[in-house]
Amino acid sequence: MYTADHGGQDDAPSQQQRTELADYLGCHEEARASAWEAWAAELNPADWDAAQCTHC
């Protein structure tokens, strides 16, 4: 979703799909924790170099 929201993909989920996902994650703590872990690793990888960031 993040990539689609920032112009990286054309197949962004619908508002209904986003709502369903939010509801699911709100009710399933294990799934929410796993999703957060995957999201954090994708957006802040261990090899990320702040010196390469053009918007920081």
Q: Residue 30 to residues 25, 26, 50: CA-CA distances in angstroms?
A: 8, 10, 31
Q: What is the pLDDT along the chain (56 residues), one digit of tens a residue?
A: 666 666 766 778 888 999 999 999 999 999 999 998 888 887 776 666 655 666 55
Is residue 33 domain-resident? yes
Q: Residue 5 to residues 11, 13, 27, 51: CA-CA distances in angstroms?
A: 10, 9, 24, 25
What crossing angle do the helices spanning 15-27 and 29-43 adopt, rounded to 10°?
120
Number of domains in the chain: 1
Range of the domain at 24: 18-53
pLDDT at 52: 62
Is residue 7 domain-resident? no
Q: What are phi and psi of 47, to 5 degrees?
A: -95, 10
pLDDT at 19: 94
pLDDT at 43: 78
